[in-house]
Amino acid sequence: DALTGLPNRRYLLERLGAEWTRHRDAGQQLVVMFLDLDRFKVVNDSLGHHFGDQLLVSAATRLRDCLADKCMLARLGGDEFAILSAEASVEDAIELAERILSAFDVPFSIGDHVVFSSCSIGIVSADDDFHGEPADLLRDADTAMYRAKNGGRDSYVVFNQELRRQVSDQMQQEGSLRAALKKDDELVPFFQPIVCTATGRLTALEALIRWRQPDGRVLTPGEFLPAMEGLRVMGRLDLYMLNRIAVILAQPGLAGWPPVHVNCSSYSMTREDFADDVFALLQQHGVAPSRICLELTEGALIAEPEIARRTMQRLADNGVSVVLDDFGTGFSSLSYVHEYRFSGLKVDKSFTFGLSSNPRTRAIVRAIVRMAESLDLRVVAEGVEDAMTLAALREIGAGQAQGYYIAKPMPLAALVEALDSGKATQWVAPSEKM
Ligand code: C2E
Ligand code: CA
Ligand code: CA
């Protein structure tokens, strides 16, 4: 590897093949570890690629210093490293992982900067249960690393049968989701009203996906989306929902509907063609861009900030507004509001919940509302579960609200019925139970 001078991926795979033969023929132990620096992208994007490169070189040195003789350290690419350990047990690997994690507790000083960089580690051992190709060991170690990352980073996870089962469950679920995306009766949008806090008038709708199972059960996103996070199928799901919504909005009787918010995964935001796909779809159905609004979380911006920035710019230039979802739960929400072209933000449920009882929460929401006002951003508070909370929002001056107290997400038919009965002009009374 040109940057670190370590063996590269190809070299590692060759060695892995050789050690694998010794493992198979002579019963020699074999452990593979997969390492990935945490938040390396953030460092790289904020301090520059040159700095990122230097951090990788320092990290490589630090890793090498942790290793025993019989280990081989390789750089797989980017911020990914692997360790091949022949004649080592899982216990040895765990010890090594702990040594590495504590070595990374010490910050790196590079030029004028001092940065902390932890890492996440996956460990797999070739044992009797393993029946794959040598390269599959690397894949399993990667899977375990991913778990470590999702579990909060700065830790290690050992690949085991349970994880193998989970991975195959996930693949199966992804398969059935893909199949459902080809039909039109399993994945359906529900709609939840968003109302003006001052007048109670309906101002927008949020589309929330539901999955009708063949046995009649209806799955909520929490039951199937988390496992699909980051997978290609999420991109398909986003376009599927957008298409469903466009078809609905194109119906002649629904010209008076308020804009529909559609949730958008980080997968889509980091895809160069996403904005074009959205426009093509709207055009195909003859739906004006202002009739939809995309909701995204800051997670969608972290992985590929540059692509996300371009995508948002293109969406905004063409009249599709974007709001920042779950505002306040991320780790740098304010900087996102400042850097990207959002038209509004949704105050996360966790703030709304404490609003009527906790003065501190109220102070925070008040500050968010003030800030949004001066930046000309719409504010929607989600998770409004009672009249007191709605009243508090009104008093604070948060423009819009959404939540079970106002209405639960409902199927299209129920929404149409409510709208037909004239609820749009006043979904909740303006001063109800104040
Ligand atoms: P979200 O975007 O934060 O959506 C709001 C969630 O809060 C919804 O859960 C909604 O039903 C729930 N909710 C609404 N009012 C209240 C309330 O008063 N109290 C409480 N406790 N909860 C309330 P849901 O429908 O289960 O969706 C969960 C998440 O799944 C959404 O969170 C969103 O991130 C994701 N999601 C839903 N539909 C889609 C979709 O079509 N595409 C994508 N990419 N993600 C989706
Ligand atoms: Ca949302
Ligand atoms: Ca939300």
Taking the C-alpha atoms of residue 243 and residue 231, their distance in angstroms, rounded to an integer, is 20
Residue with tokens 């529900």: 190
Taking the C-alpha atoms of residue 303 and residue 283, their distance in angstroms, rounded to an integer, is 29
Taking the C-alpha atoms of residue 432 and residue 393, their distance in angstroms, rounded to an integer, is 13
The candidate with the shortest Cα–Cα distance to 121, out of 89, 143, 90, is 143
47: exposed, middle or buried (C-beta count within 10 Å: 0-12, 13-18, 19+)?
middle
Contacts of 118 (CB under 8 A, 6+ apart): 37, 38, 101, 104, 105, 153, 154
Taking the C-alpha atoms of residue 345 and residue 329, their distance in angstroms, rounded to an integer, is 12
The candidate with the shortest Cα–Cα distance to 312, out of 345, 281, 283, 340, is 340
Residue with tokens 């909005």: 249
- What is the CA(181)–ligand 3 centre distance, in A? 23
Ligand 1 atom closest to Cα of 265?
44
Q: Is 238 in the pocket of ligand 1 (CB under 6 A)?
A: yes
The candidate with the shortest Cα–Cα distance to 156, out of 74, 34, 60, is 34
Q: Is 403 in the pocket of ligand 1 (CB under 6 A)?
A: yes
Structure tokens at 256: 């008076």
Ligand 1 atom closest to Cα of 346?
3
Give the per-residue pLDDT at 434.
44
**CA–CA–CA angle 254, 256, 261 (5° rounding):** 80
CB 47 within 8 A of CB 113: yes
Residues in the chain: 434
Q: What is the distance between the terminal CA atoms of the chain, rounded to a whole angstrom?
A: 67
**CA–CA–CA angle 203, 204, 207 (5° rounding):** 165
Q: Is 209 in the pocket of ligand 1 (CB under 6 A)?
A: yes
Q: b/e string for 213-222 if b means 16 or more Cβ within 10 A?
A: eeeeeeeeee
Q: Is 79 in the pocket of ligand 1 (CB under 6 A)?
A: no
Give me the CATH code for the 181-420 domain, please: 3.20.20.450
What fold characterizes domain 9-159? Alpha-Beta Plaits (3.30.70)
Query: Helix 49-66 and helix 40-47: axis angle, to 10°?
Result: 140
pTM of the shown model = 0.79
| pLDDT in 10s for each residue of the chain, 434 residues | 999 999 999 999 999 999 999 998 888 899 999 999 998 988 888 889 999 999 999 999 999 999 987 899 999 999 999 999 988 899 999 999 999 999 999 999 998 889 999 999 999 999 877 778 889 999 999 999 998 988 888 999 999 888 888 888 888 999 999 999 999 899 999 999 999 999 999 999 999 999 999 899 999 999 999 889 888 999 999 999 999 999 999 999 898 899 999 999 989 988 999 999 999 999 999 999 999 999 999 888 877 788 888 999 999 999 999 999 999 887 777 788 888 889 999 999 999 999 989 999 999 999 999 999 999 999 999 999 999 999 999 999 999 999 999 999 999 999 999 999 999 999 998 765 44
Bridge pairing between strands 113-115 and 71-77:
unpaired
| 280 phi/psi in degrees, rounded to 5 | -60, -45
- What is the CA(302)–ligand 1 centre distance, in A? 21
The neighbouring-strand residues paired with 346 are 380
- Closest residue CA from atom 15 of ligand 1: 403
Give the per-residue pLDDT at 432.
52
Query: Is the torsion defined by CA of 204, 266, 189, 289 positive or negative?
Result: positive
- The shares of helix, strand and coil residues in the chain, as percent rounded to the nearest 5, are 50, 20, 30
The preferred substitution site among 208, 266, 415 for testing ligand 1, maximizing ligand atoms within 8 Å of CB, is 208
The candidate with the shortest Cα–Cα distance to 119, out of 172, 67, 62, 180, is 62
The candidate with the shortest Cα–Cα distance to 328, out of 307, 309, 353, 306, is 353
CB 343 within 8 A of CB 324: no
- What is the CA(402)–ligand 2 centre distance, in A? 10
Residue with tokens 């702990």: 98
Ligand nearest to the CA of 346: 3
Taking the C-alpha atoms of residue 175 and residue 185, their distance in angstroms, rounded to an integer, is 17
Ligand 1 atom closest to Cα of 208?
38
Domain ranges for the chain, please list them.
Answer: 9-159, 181-420
Q: Is 1 in the pocket of ligand 1 (CB under 6 A)?
A: no
**Integer CA distances (angstroms), 290 to 159, 265, 342, 344, 419, in order:** 48, 20, 14, 14, 20
- What is the CA(382)–ligand 1 centre distance, in A? 10
Residue with tokens 């797999």: 124
- Closest residue CA from atom 19 of ligand 1: 383
Q: Is 193 in the pocket of ligand 1 (CB under 6 A)?
A: no
